[in-house]
Copies of this chain bind each other. A is one copy, B any other.
Amino acid sequence: MVDSQKTPERYRDSGNGRYRVVIVGGGFAGLYAARKLGKDRAVDVTLVDRRNYHLFQPLLYQVATGALSPGDIAQPLRAILRRNENTRVILAEAVGLDPVARRISLNDGGTVDYDTLLVATGARHAYFGHDEWATLAPGLKTIEDATEIRRRILIAYEAAEREADPVRRAEWMTFVVVGGGPTGVELAGALGEISRDTMRRDFRSIRPADARVLLVEALDRVLPTYPENLSRSARRQLEGLGVTVRTGAKVTAIDEDGIEVAIGSDGTDRTERIPTRTVLWAAGVQASSFGRKVAEALGVEVDRSGRLPVGADLAIASHPEVMILGDLAIAKLQGGKRVPGVAPAALQEGNYAADSIRRSVLGEMPEPFRYRDRGDVAVIGRLSGVADIRWLGRFGQMSGLPAWGMWLGVHIVYLIGFANRLVVIIRWAWSFLTHGRGTRLITGEPHLPPIKRPKHL
């Protein structure tokens, strides 16, 4: 898979004798590559990110639902890499690539030259051609997304509390999550818990437990990448939290006070309108804008989501000095299977890229990327979740308490920053004991929705 002819070109030395690795994106793939290259005196590492922190995205939905603070799941990149003296961090957005000069350009007008370029700028959710839905149904990829979703959920309860009209009140107390993958399942489960537990005694005019939470998925089951029995289990666990699961339902329209879905496997059986003021989006994949620019500059054909195909060396076939890592890549394994777009895969790709570069600098042959599938785990709520630890075979398919326990352990271990780990453990333990969520803050200027007939008397 890896052509030895490419090696000299791909790992050409820089003038000062140090090999220049430029990494764009400080997510799992980029950060793990940087960490592994950070002690290597033969290379110079430059990490470019438009944010000054690494974000632990798997816990972002907990920020969106008021269980954790943004600072608990983010760590400054400079702090993580401070001891790596061969590494510098640049806070900027990469906006262009010149593959002949081997140079990227940044939004501040600066440029950086590379011998090997690692592109790990990830992907966002996609609205399937309906970009006008973005403001009506925010997705969950950044800290700003998470605090915006938190604000909308909390404002909806506040608006319901003071709304006298029962129809409008019901609209405020209906929450629709679009997309039945892990993020959608976790969001819907958390919304179910918020209405049943967290908010139970917080209001005087409404009963938060009357809230309706709907999870809408176009395919015929939730968690479609899991075995079918676990999808069924996830659905039962969600329903146990009061979540209504609508599979085979495709979103056809979203507006200020509702969402329209086409029901049925072919989407033509009938259309249903769900009146709601809060729609959250957890569907679709769309390559980052720098990813698209890289594809254009290198003349690479991308898939429908804009992702770039790479070989088993994670490099672009025509440009072996450019590696694509993480969610932005379509990496085919030797058996023809695709590497999934999940955090553990990105992390392994980052480590692989670092190893591969070090081998080449030492004149050794790079080996093809091997993905170790440790399995999947998704949490649904208190003491519930599903896990599919594939190397354990049938014994690795777990539901409820064992899956939940495994989820907790895995996320604590991979969270970066010792203080963050302790803080998250405390917030979780406290939430578990009290059914509370401590960070339910409406931040930013509070934009209260207009109400028609206020009734505070």
Residues in A lying within 8 Å of B, measured CB to CB: 46, 50-53, 68-72, 74-76, 78-79, 82-83, 88, 90-92, 106-113, 143-144, 154, 158, 162, 199, 201-204, 417-420, 422-423, 426-427, 430-431, 436, 438-446, 448, 450-451, 454-457
Give chain B nearest CB distance to A254 CB in angstroms: 24
B contact residues around A91 at 8 Å (CB): 158, 442, 446, 448
Contact of A51 among B82, B111, B419, B442 (CB under 8 A): B442
Q: Which of A53, A71, A83, A144 has the most CB of B within 10 A?
A: A71
Contact indicator A438/B419 (Cβ below 8 Å) = yes
State A420–B446 Cα separation when bound (angstroms). 23
Q: Which of A78, A90, A431 has the most CB of B within 10 A?
A: A78
A436-B79 in contact given A448-B91, A456-B90 (Cβ < 8 Å) = yes
B contact residues around A448 at 8 Å (CB): 91-92, 107-108
Contact indicator B430/A418 (Cβ below 8 Å) = yes
Q: Which of A76, A445, A448 has the most CB of B within 10 A?
A: A76
B contact residues around A92 at 8 Å (CB): 162, 448
B contact residues around A451 at 8 Å (CB): 108-110
State A62–B289 Cα separation when bound (angstroms). 35
Contact indicator A454/B109 (Cβ below 8 Å) = yes
Contact of A82 among B46, B69, B202, B446 (CB under 8 A): B202
Smallest Cβ-Cβ distance to A104: which chain B residue: B456
* A-B contacts, 8 listed (Cβ < 8 Å): A52-B440, A70-B71, A71-B72, A76-B202, A76-B441, A110-B457, A112-B456, A422-B430
State A128–B318 Cα separation when bound (angstroms). 64
Smallest Cβ-Cβ distance to A417: which chain B residue: B438
Q: How many copies does the complex hold?
A: 2
Contact indicator B111/A440 (Cβ below 8 Å) = no
B contact residues around A457 at 8 Å (CB): 110-113
Contact of A78 among B202, B420, B443 (CB under 8 A): B202
Smallest Cβ-Cβ distance to A452: which chain B residue: B109
Contact indicator B436/A426 (Cβ below 8 Å) = no
B contact residues around A441 at 8 Å (CB): 52-53, 70-71, 74, 76, 143
State A108–B442 Cα separation when bound (angstroms). 17
B contact residues around A454 at 8 Å (CB): 106, 108-111
Contact of A144 among B158, B430, B444 (CB under 8 A): B444
A162-B439 in contact given A78-B202, A448-B91 (Cβ < 8 Å) = no
4 additional contacts (CB under 8 A) given A143-B443, A419-B426: A71-B439, A106-B454, A106-B456, A108-B448
Contact indicator A440/B76 (Cβ below 8 Å) = yes
Contact indicator B82/A144 (Cβ below 8 Å) = no
B contact residues around A199 at 8 Å (CB): 78
State A14–B426 Cα separation when bound (angstroms). 45
Give chain B nearest CB distance to A443 CB in angstroms: 6
B contact residues around A450 at 8 Å (CB): 108
Contact indicator A443/B113 (Cβ below 8 Å) = no
A52-B456 in contact given A70-B441, A71-B438, A108-B448 (Cβ < 8 Å) = no
State A90–B420 Cα separation when bound (angstroms). 33
State A53–B111 Cα separation when bound (angstroms). 45
State A69–B106 Cα separation when bound (angstroms). 30
B contact residues around A113 at 8 Å (CB): 457
Contact indicator B438/A427 (Cβ below 8 Å) = no
State A110–B448 Cα separation when bound (angstroms). 13
